[in-house]
Amino acid sequence: MKKIGFIGLGIMGKPMAKNLLKAGYPMVAYDVRPEPLAEVVSAGAAAGHSARDVASRSEVIITMLPDSPDVEAAALGSGGIIEGANPGSILVDMSSIAPRVSREISARLAGKGVAMLDAPVSGGEPKAIEGTLAIMVGGPQEAFDQVKDLLGVMGASVLRVGEIGSGNTAKLANQIIVALNIAAVSEALVLATKAGVNPEAVFQAIRGGLAGSTVLEAKVPMMLAGNFKPGFRIELHIKDLVNALKTATELDVPIPLAGRVLEIMQALREEGRARDDHSGIVQFYEKLAKVEVRR
């Protein structure tokens, strides 16, 4: 088995790293926070001291970080992957970042003989824990073939969609669809509640029809319980939609609905709800309608 380096042990990264350890992959892990690092070390990983240290001790380096600047710093900054990675190693960035940044990092690493894949995921914390994420990959076919099996430990669906940057383009498309779906569900259930119809009954009535979706199944129970403990935080979805809008601007593509949902999320962030799960979008509509969607 290839030696794995894992950098970034947050809500998603920690269970992903643990699943690789359970599958028997030798691992060196690193996070700027000592608590999650200690937890992953107790599960069998060796402790890394920096991104450079992890890269120097690994054949495949996985990063799972919040945004483009974090990945740039880990990959190209002082004490970064580029300083420690060995020729022939592979960086698999599983963060959700701007496609342009993936291409820029890949070009820099190629100069040291390091291949890169951008491989963002969808499914949130529950599927990270289960090892059933959807993983969309961009980058060289040869590098993908070398890591497909280990990605399969973390995901139920692992698909290469094109060259470097295409994985994050697919993720932006995913995040637009998810955001608009949650907003549509929120509008519909607030309307039903305001009309005096039980929102749970509406959910049961429509889930088997064309309106049924993974989003509906995952997020409506949270809305009905008023449980907005994050599987995927609003602040992270804001980041993804900002990246989608930047990419759309670069390509001269209109995405007005995504822009509107971004404004809703930004309004919730201003109310102190940035760390709520993105199902918390419903709270924006509840406030305006003066009702709560609950069981």
134-153, pLDDT tens digit by residue? 999 999 999 999 999 999 99
For residue 183, CA distances in Å to 173, 251, 256, 292 come to 16, 25, 14, 15
The yes-or-no verdict on residue 231 having pLDDT over 90 is no
Distance in angstroms (rounded) separating the CA atoms of residues 259 and 219: 21
Question: According to the model, what pLDDT value does residue 282 have?
Answer: 98
Q: Which residues are 115's β-sheet partners?
A: 90
Q: Say whether pTM exceeds 0.75.
A: yes
Phi then psi for residue 91, to 5 deg, are -95, 125
Query: How many angstroms separate the CA atoms of 145 and 55, rounded?
Result: 20
pLDDT at 84: 97
The bridge status of strand 27-30 relative to strand 133-138 is unpaired
Residues designated as active site = 171
- pLDDT at residue 293, as a whole number: 98
Mean pLDDT rounded to a whole number for the chain: 97
The Cα-based distances of 30 to 82, 115, 146, 258, 289 in angstroms read 16, 21, 23, 34, 46
User: Distances in Å between the alpha carbon of 107 and those of 85, 101, 117, 134?
Assistant: 14, 10, 11, 26
What amino acid occupies position 287? K
What confidence category does residue 192 fall into, taking pLDDT thresholds of 50, 70 and 90? Answer: very high
Task: Tell me the sheet residues that pair with 162.
Answer: 138
Predicted confidence (pLDDT) per residue in 62-99, tens digit: 999 999 999 999 999 999 999 999 999 999 999 999 99
159-175 per-position pLDDT tens digit? 999 999 999 999 999 99
Superfamily of domain 169-289: N-(1-d-carboxylethyl)-l-norvaline Dehydrogenase; domain 2 (1.10.1040.10)
Q: What is the pLDDT of residues 40-58, one digit of tens each?
A: 999 999 999 999 999 999 9
Q: What class does CATH assign to 4-163?
A: alpha beta
- Map residue 26 onto helix, strand or coil: coil
Q: What is the pLDDT of residue 124?
A: 86
Residues 6+ apart with CB under 8 A from 238: 262, 265, 266, 269, 274
Name the residue ranges covered by the structural domains of the chain. 4-163, 169-289
Location of structure tokens 């698999």: 92
pLDDT tens digit string along 234-280? 999 999 999 999 999 999 999 999 999 999 999 999 999 999 999 99
